Structure 1
Amino acid sequence: MDNLDFVSFMYVILTYAAFAILIIGMVWKIIVYAKTPMPVKIPLAPAPKTKTGAFFRVLGEVFFFKSLYRSNKSTWVGGYVFHVSLAIVLIQHVLRHYVYDFYHGNHPAWYNLLVPIGLVFGTLMLISLVYLFLRRIFVARVKFISVLSDYFILVLLMLITIAGLSEIVFQSPAALEKSVVQLDAFFNKLFIFQPVDIPHNPFFLLHYTLVLILLAYIPFSKIMHFVGIFFSPTLAMNDDVRENRYTDERTTRLTI
């Protein structure tokens, strides 16, 4: 780290700090979720009778947001478009880095499709985020239950998306490719604790700064629902109350 310039040094420290907060915070939250007592069966009816059925019901919520679809189809469209677009953009980011690294810069022809894919789904992501944000402002019942953190996370995600799209829209293909080459070295060395200078591209630095803020914020935000849903008693429990009744040992000693 002695050869790093000041900006790179600060971003290396911030990157390690953000990932440490993310990992430690998520592990802590998972432990809290797992240790939370759930002695009483409270599955959301109609509920499956078996644990296998309950497992597949959770998967249905994770991949298709089935309960949201039944309750509010317009919100389902906005939420589903956002989550699918986010997943594709994340995959695009990973492929863009590791495919480039695997082929040592001599990437296959389909590699060039990754930039327009990121542009299309990044735009869809931004549109869906704007819709979800406006919904919290103009739908009275949603505005009533919204708190500051709900608006903050939506604004943060919108800023991240806008900054990412700006990298594509306001830069030439050559400048974008140069950033990819520099990023390839930066992240590879970062993972083995031999950091090198970060690209000083202002579009990237803004995008990356906002992403680091998001990563550090995740364990303390509602974004943890992507983990918490697997511990949700109303979804993850099967309906076997008749077969396995809950009894408290203290009540068995009571006499009338």
Structure 2
Amino acid sequence: MRVLTTAYALLFYFATIVLVAGLAWRIYEYATVPAPLKIPTTPAPTTRRGVIFRMGREVVLFESLFKSNKWIWLFGWLFHVALAVVILRHLRYFIEPVWSWVVFVQPFGVYAGFAMVVGLLGLWARRFLVPRVRYISAPSDHLMLALIVAIGLSGLGMKFIARTDIVAVKAFFLGLMRFDVQPLPADPALLVHLTLVALLMIIFPFSKLLHAPGVFFSPSRNQVDNPRERRHLAAWAARMDRQPGE
């Protein structure tokens, strides 16, 4: 038991470091890539406030995807909303006492688990059933979807089939946060679920899933459509303007 607990403690410390450092580095890369042109997708807002509202609709409602393809939007939006609820439900393992609104979310999180898997299966089926999407789908695309589906199914399995000691699980994760590692239950379903989650944390910063923070740095979404009113000048171009000409 002690060896198992230590192994999973080290695994999650490593996964957390990779996730945080990887995300920080990729966000830094996104933020420092120059945008030499004004390329907002039109019709685009002409004010900064309009850009904020547009970005909000894009992040919360997937507005452009809704306009493009209703079926993909349905499964994609269902998955992302359900995933958000599931993550909120899992906050109870990392806080003590549990906040009242987290308690309120708990029953909805169970249904969200089913919705998350349904949304994922719909998106996965698209990669088999739509010829042009099947043609461009790489093995990594299927493996990523399989990984997240397996996480969802293993989590639901622990809820309805192979239950585990969630009090001990919470003590384990609170102990990790306090650097006071507590014993982890050795239930196979739990170990499979945690292994898959740690694997996702490790590969997330290097995968296509990184569109989550990347959308905020997309020049086609975050730029104001005012090329006539204001000259767009990238930082590197501004430095060239300040240099004496030949």
1:240 maps onto 2:235 in alignment: no
Give 1:195's aligned residue.
181
Report how many aligned residue pairs link the two structures: 238
1:71 aligns to 2:68 (yes or no): yes
Report if aligned partners of 1:96, 1:111 keep a CA contact under 8 Å in 2.
no
Task: Give the 3 Å change call, closer, same or farther, for CA 95–194 of structure 1 in structure 2.
Answer: closer
**Structure 1 CA distance for aligned equivalents of residues 129 and 138 of structure 2:** 14
Give the aligned partner of residue 207 of structure 2. Answer: 221
2:150 equivalent to 1:159:
yes
Structure 1 112/51 Cα, relative in aligned 2: closer, same or farther at 3 Å?
A: closer
Corresponding residue of 1:102: 97
- Indicate the residue corresponding to 2:217 in structure 1: 231
For 1:119, give the aligned amino acid.
Answer: V
C-alpha contact (below 8 Å) 1:97/1:180 kept by paired residues: no
**Distance in 1 separating the partners of 2:93 and 2:15:** 22
2:131 to 134, 137, 140: 140
Residue 10 (structure 2) aligns with: 13
Separation in structure 2 between the aligned mates of residue 79 and residue 187 of structure 1, nearest angstrom: 30
- Gaps of at least 5 residues in structure 2 are none
Residue of structure 1 equivalent to 2:46: 49
Post-superposition offset of 1:253: 5.8
Deviation at 1:128, TM superposition (A): 1.2
Match of 1:139, as an amino acid? V
Q: Secondary structure at the match of 1:102?
A: coil
User: Deviations along 1:197-250, whole A, 9 cap, x unmatched?
Assistant: 212121111111100000111100111111001100000001110012247649
- Residue 58 of structure 1 contacts residue 236 of structure 1 at CA under 8 Å; is this kept in 2? yes
The alignment's TM-score, normalised by the length of structure 1, stands at 0.86
Judging changes above 3 Å, is the alpha-carbon distance between structure 1 residues 36 and 18 closer, same or farther for their aligned structure 2 residues? same
Whole-angstrom distance in 2 between the partners of 1:112 and 1:237: 38
SS at match of 2:203: helix
Structure 1 segments (4+ residues) deviating >4 Å:
110-113
1:93-121 Cα deviation digits (max 9, x unpaired): 113653xx317xxx99x95982x433321
Instruction: Say if 1:222 and 1:245 are closer, same or farther in 2 by CA, change over 3 A.
Output: same
Shift of 1:39: 2.1
Find the aligned partners of 2:36 and 2:103 in 1 and give their Cα distance.
52
TM-score (structure 2 length as normaliser) = 0.89
Alpha-carbon distance change, 112 to 34 in structure 1, aligned in 2, over 3 angstroms: closer
Partner of 1:29 in structure 2?
A: 26
Partner amino acid for 1:68?
A: L
- 1:78-104, Cα deviation, whole Å (9 max, x unpaired): 001101111111111113653xx317x
Amino acid at match of 2:54: R
CA distance in 2, matches of 1:11, 1:61: 37
1:35-93 deviation per Cα after TM superposition (whole angstroms, max 9, x unaligned): 10112111111111112211221111100000000000010000011011111111111
Candidates 185, 189, 206, aligned match of 2:192: 206
Whole-Å separation in 1 of the counterparts to 2:43 and 2:115: 34
Query: Residue 15 of structure 2 contacts residue 202 of structure 2 at CA under 8 Å; is this kept in 1?
Result: yes
Instruction: Tell me, in whole angstroms, the C-alpha distance in 1 between the residues paired with 2:72 and 2:9.
Output: 38
Paired residue type of 2:57: G
* Structure 2 SS opposite 1:182: helix
**Does the C-alpha gap of structure 1 residues 220 and 5 become closer, same or farther in structure 2, counting only changes over 3 Å?**
same
- Is there any run of 5+ residues in structure 1 with no aligned partner, and where? none
